[in-house]
Amino acid sequence: MKKIINAKNAPAPIGPYNQATEANGMIFISGQIALIPGTDELNTSNIEGETMQVMENLKAILTEANLDFSNVLKTTIFLSDMNLFSVVNTIYASYFSKDFPARETVAVLGLPKGAC
Q: Is 72 helix (H, G, I), strand (E, B) or coil?
A: coil
- The contacts of residue 112 (CB under 8 Å, 6+ apart) are 14, 33
Rounded distance between C-alpha atoms, residue 38 and residue 36, angstroms: 6
pLDDT of residue 52: 97
**Full set of structural domains in the chain with CATH:** 3-114 (3.30.1330.40)
Taking alpha carbons only, the member of 47, 1, 10, 53 closest to residue 29 is 10
**Per-residue pLDDT reduced to its tens digit, 88-109:** 999 999 999 989 999 999 988 7
Mean pLDDT of 34-52: 93
